[in-house]
Amino acid sequence: MGAKKNMRARVAELRELIRLHDRKYYVDHLPEIADGEYDALMAELAGLEREHPELVTSDSPTRTVGGAPTEGFRTVEHAVPMLSLDNTYSPEELLAFDARVKKRLPDESVEYVVEPKLDGVSISLRYVNGRLDVAVTRGDGARGDDVTANVRTIKSVPLDLTGETAPATLEVRGEVFMSRSVFERLNRRRLKNEQAPFVNPRNAAAGSLKLRDPADVAKRHLRVFIYQVVGRVPPRVTTQSKAIKEMRTWGLPVIHNVTLASTIDDVVETCDEWDDRRRRLNYDIDGMVVKVNSLEQQERLGSTTKSPRWGIAFKFPAEVVRTVVRDIVVQVGRTGKLTPVAILEPVFVSGSTVSRATLHNSDEIERLDVRVGDTVEVEKGGEVIPKVVGVVKSTRTGSPQLFRMPGTCPMCGEPVARADGEVDTRCENESCPGRAMGRIEHFASRGAMDIQGLGTALVEQLVSEGLVADYGDLYGLTADDFAALPRMGERSAENLLAELEESKGRPLSRVLHGLGVRHVGATVAQVLAGTFAGMRELSAASEEELAAIDGIGPVIAASIRAFLGTSRNVEALRKLDDAGVNMRGEPGRRKTETALTGLTVVLTGSLARRTRDEAAAAIAEAGGRVSSSVSSKTDLVVAGKNPGSKHGKALELGVKVIDEAELERLLGTKERH
Ligand code: AMP
Ligand code: ZN
């Protein structure tokens, strides 16, 4: 009964999360999580719904396509719904797709086409009597926005179809996108005009397509590639590849680089080749789309309510690109840790421009032997911070200086220290402004108080303007304070104040996590909040009492006492209390229950944020068990980059596979308000 209730709650939570991220992606065009993370949420929801069909609703995100029509444009119903595509990330998953297709088409030979997956905005064009009648965005899949006036400004879109064979009435689908070169030029101009640059060409294309004035849209030089014809086609058009050729004779700008593949192995090889070839394109593709070539077979395979059974998207793994290190600077984190950061010649990686990458610590710099002026390889996967993975030594000219960690803190000028046997160099100055910024950012972060809108740039401003010195000061901020900040609109200020107000009610575990006590992460914070009636009781506990708590050892106990024994921390806590931040514990709750409690977990592939050992320790701390091989007893497989055979085994056995981002979520931010 209890488990059932939990599951119902989880299903509701997943739906809410997915809708939230749909909105950010499709409506705001400002995605917050990586595709892999989103897919993991969707996979978890689909899994739960499969096990419990009674919980399925017709409006569940598993049954619908994300997004909603935007206000201000006329809404148009799609005659045939515009579906989404299922995503895959590995050759094994492509094989599984092939197996599913063959199972529905026993004893038939199946040919595939592989097309680049353009990273733009999907569009449907309807021609009536050979004339462009209406252009509609995907919207929620059933209804989209009429953007005809804007699409008319795209040069390659014919207003009249040509060729004898063009059907009088026709609907085609494709992708509106922006070339990289146009994107770069647009962003340079925006920066010059002090406008915020677009994050990537897809967001730029999406934003441009929704401009009010078609004259402005024309200046954005959007492009379209058409990849699908909907409805009736001349009888000789029996395959997708023929359809593309045919559409070209009608004057439509069809997609380039379509490859025929007679086996799934050829498909895998083509996908693999394109992971490299795509770098030479002047536009972004984020994967390949694999489709059954025969239109008749496509029709028999059909679709689910969400996506066709005859096609699938293959998403590329994390991308590595080369660029030049312009400088190496040092950042100070909340614990005082000094992190060297490479300032890069901006480059395009995995859909966004990257201009900084972490170098972790001085040992890492030595290991890589990276120097200013070097050409380096930078990697970015999902939402992970970009990192330098190697130096291209052959391109080094002269003998650039080796980087040395400074002897003093770049933020406060106090001497820094590196303890014996530790890799990190630290600033020990408790009132270092660099540390204050880090602490505030941590306090506001998603896993802690989850104060949206309080990001790095704003925290930096608040601290350097002297408006706050610690997180304790956040709740004293007023609208007037914000008004004084450059680049802060009235609306954002209002939103932030509302966010701050709302955050006062977060559970004590989140407050404790946010304080930034060394060794007190989300899990320990939950143990503490589940043990004490409130902050006052916790503060009164001795080191021995703390160490006696299940899940808390002498090291953590000492760290907590040290934190509470420092007057500036006590002062910050008092400010939080005075501001009305929740200080009541939840001792009724079971102490160490986490999303991973009791689960057997297998790790495969490399993780970006933690070593295998660290990940295993964290899982164990959360009550899970890490095992080295996949069996039917495995509950969860965490697939990092380049996952090995364990991943295939998991798919074979139907064991749930999650990515690193999802693991982090389970470990850190399990509890959402
Ligand atoms: P997703 O939005 O990840 O579900 O992927 C489906 C979307 O991929 C479609 O709605 C199209 O906008 C886009 N797409 C890009 N290139 C292609 C292509 N060659 N074939 C089909 N869909 C494509
Ligand atoms: Zn300092």
Summarised one tens digit per residue, pLDDT across range 112-157 is 999 999 999 999 999 999 999 999 999 888 899 999 999 999 988 9
Domains 75-315 and 600-667 are alike in CATH topology? no
Residue of 579, 577, 590 lying closest to 538 (CA atoms): 577
CATH number of the domain located at residue range(s) 2-63 in this protein: 1.10.287.610
Kind of pairing, strands 223-230 and 169-177? antiparallel
65: pLDDT confidence band, cut at 50, 70 and 90? low
pLDDT score recorded for residue 327: 93
Residue with tokens 């955050």: 503
**306-363 residue pLDDT tens:** 889 999 999 887 677 888 999 999 999 888 899 999 999 888 776 667 888 888 888 8
Which range is most confident: 94-103, 591-600, 609-618? 94-103
Return the best residue to mutate from 65, 226, 289, 293 for the ligand 1 pocket (most ligand atoms within 8 A of CB). 289
CATH number of the domain located at residue range(s) 320-396 in this protein: 2.40.50.140
Q: Contacts from 340-347 at CB under 8 Å and sequence distance 24+?
A: 340/364, 340/365, 340/403, 340/405, 342/370, 342/376, 342/388, 344/376, 344/378, 347/321, 347/322, 347/323, 347/378
The CATH fold assigned to 600-667 is Rossmann fold (3.40.50)
Strand, coil or helix: what is 14? Answer: helix
Q: Is 289 in the pocket of ligand 1 (CB under 6 A)?
A: yes
384: pLDDT confidence band, cut at 50, 70 and 90? low
For range 290-303, the mean pLDDT: 96
pLDDT score recorded for residue 611: 66
**486-503 residue pLDDT tens:** 777 888 889 999 999 999
The residue whose C-alpha atom lies closest to atom 16 belonging to ligand 1 is 117
pLDDT score recorded for residue 406: 92
26: pLDDT confidence band, cut at 50, 70 and 90? low
Residues 465 and 458: their CA atoms lie apart, in Å, by 10
Q: Is the pLDDT of residue 69 over 50?
A: no
Q: Is 85 in the pocket of ligand 1 (CB under 6 A)?
A: yes
590: pLDDT confidence band, cut at 50, 70 and 90? very low
**421-434 residue pLDDT tens:** 778 899 999 889 99
**Which of 170-179, 456-465, 642-651 comes out lowest in average pLDDT?**
642-651
pLDDT score recorded for residue 1: 44
**Which of 319-333, 357-371, 390-404, 610-624 comes out lowest in average pLDDT?**
610-624
484 or 541: which leads in pLDDT:
541
Residues 102 and 109: their CA atoms lie apart, in Å, by 8
Residues 646 and 648: their CA atoms lie apart, in Å, by 5
Q: 8 is written with which tokens?
A: 């119902």
Q: How far is the CA of 464 from the centre of ligand 2 (A)?
A: 14
**314 half-sphere exposure, CB direction, 13 A CA radius:** 27
pLDDT score recorded for residue 262: 95
Whats the size of the chain, residue-wise? Answer: 673
| Atom of ligand 1 at shortest range from CA of 85 | 4
Q: What CATH architecture is 433-579?
A: Orthogonal Bundle (1.10)
Between 433-444 and 456-464, two packed helices, what is the crossing angle to 10 degrees? 140
pLDDT score recorded for residue 136: 96
CA distances from 270 to 17, 90, 115, 294, 331 (A): 35, 13, 9, 19, 42
Is this structure's pTM higher than 0.85? no
Q: How far is the CA of 336 from the centre of ligand 2 (A)?
A: 7
Which uninterrupted H or E stretch holds 341?
strand 338-349
Q: Which CATH class is domain 75-315?
A: alpha beta
Residue of 12, 5, 47, 102 lying closest to 650 (CA atoms): 47
Q: How far is the CA of 173 from the centre of ligand 1 (A)?
A: 10
Domain boundaries defined on the chain: 2-63, 75-315, 320-396, 433-579, 600-667
pLDDT score recorded for residue 562: 94
Q: Which residues make up the environment of ion ligand 2, defined by Cβ < 5 Å?
A: 409, 411-412, 427, 429, 432
Q: Is the pLDDT of residue 182 over 50?
A: yes
**249-260 residue pLDDT tens:** 999 999 999 999
Q: Is 122 in the pocket of ligand 1 (CB under 6 A)?
A: yes
- First-to-last alpha carbon distance for the chain, in angstroms, is 23
pLDDT score recorded for residue 612: 67
Q: Is the pLDDT of residue 443 over 70?
A: yes
**528-579 residue pLDDT tens:** 998 999 999 999 999 999 999 887 888 889 999 999 998 989 999 999 999 9
Q: Is 81 in the pocket of ligand 1 (CB under 6 A)?
A: no
Which uninterrupted H or E stretch holds 526?
helix 522-531
Q: Is 115 in the pocket of ligand 1 (CB under 6 A)?
A: yes
Q: How far is the CA of 83 from the centre of ligand 1 (A)?
A: 9
